[in-house]
Amino acid sequence: MVLWVKKSLESGKAIKVVNDQVRTPTLVEDLAIGCQNVLETQTKGIFHISGAQTFTPYEIALEVAGFFQLDKKLISPVTADTFKEVGKRPPKTGFVIERAKNILGFTPRSLKEGLSFISNQLG
């Protein structure tokens, strides 16, 4: 989502982003670290690995625009009903990651830290 928002706004394209759903954005590198922690500790069981913060996709898009100093006016909030998706998404998704934090020492980056990480990757 970060790259889609960034590319769209950089090209001056207006975008519509859902504001009636909540998600936990997860940096793929944090997911990999969580999986590595499971392997290294050889702990048994199920671990939920995700970001710790919840946002609407619209809020994420605004954060991306702000971080990369792009025009937030190009972002319009819409409801999920705006898009015709085959499978309907639940209004709230995410995981309780306390077990991963307590047993594995998993600490996901914040959205802003994740944006900084992505920015460094892009150069």
Task: For residues 51 and 89, give the distance between their C-alpha atoms in angstroms, rounded to a whole number.
Answer: 18
Quote the tokens at residue 3.
């790259």
pLDDT beneath 50: ranges in the chain:
none
pLDDT at position 89? 81
pLDDT at position 83? 86
Beta bridge partners of 78: 18
Task: For residues 83 and 86, give the distance between their C-alpha atoms in angstroms, rounded to a whole number.
Answer: 10
pLDDT at position 87? 80
pLDDT at position 13? 98
Domain ranges for the chain = 2-83+90-122
CATH class of 2-83+90-122: alpha beta
Task: For residues 65 and 48, give the distance between their C-alpha atoms in angstroms, rounded to a whole number.
Answer: 29
pLDDT at position 95? 93
